[in-house]
Structure 1
């Protein structure tokens, strides 16, 4: 996962967190997080990169819609990344310092 861009890591997390994710649902989720429009020219090439790296599988739901699922390798990479982050970031401590107006 070290060789992924931040956007690609975010894509991987979103694919892992959505039920039966397809391109539009992934796009909408990222637009909410980034608070800006995610163009197809950015989304789909990065999803294809995750597929090429073996982190995500791509299947056809219908003639117009692809579905994406995290592979076993992708889940392992996410678990390793989470474990690595946990060594450096105390999420519970961060939550306790957030105020009501914080995002």
Structure 2
């Protein structure tokens, strides 16, 4: 996961929290977090990158709508990242 951008990492995290979300559902969730509009030209190329890296699978709901599912590898990468972060983040007292 070290080679992902922050946006790609956030996209992977959001996708892992949903069951086969479509692109617009991911976009809406990220827009709430970033408090700004996310254009399709940013969203879909980054989803394609995650698919190419084997972290997300892309499927088709209908002729116009795709869904995205985090792969086992994607879940392992998220878990490894969280373990790495935990080394540097002290627990609240």
TM range (shorter): over 0.9
Give the unaligned 5+ runs of structure 2: none
Per the alignment, residue 70 of structure 1 pairs with 70
Across the aligned residues of Structure 1 and Structure 2, the Cα RMSD in angstroms comes to 1.0
User: Hey, what does 1:99 align to over in structure 2?
Assistant: none
Aligned-residue offset at 1:19: 2.3
> Which residue of structure 2 aligns with residue 13 of structure 1?
13
- Number of residue-to-residue matches in the alignment: 93
Q: Distance in 2 between matches of 1:56 and 1:23?
A: 12
Q: Offset of 1:18 from its aligned partner?
A: 1.4
Aligned mates of 2:34, 2:44 — CA distance in 1: 17
2:41 matches 1:47: no
Runs of 4+ in 1 over 4 A off after TM superposition: none
**Corresponding residue number in structure 2 for 1:3:** 3
Structure 2 length as normaliser, TM-score? 0.96
Q: Give me the whole-angstrom Cα distance separating, in 2, the residues matched to 1:20 and 1:55.
A: 14
Q: Which runs of 5+ in 1 are unaligned?
A: 97-103
2:32 and 2:71 mapped to 1: Cα distance? 25
Deviation string 1:59-83 (CA, Å, 9 cap, x unpaired) is: 0011111000011110100000010
* Higher Cα radius of gyration: 1
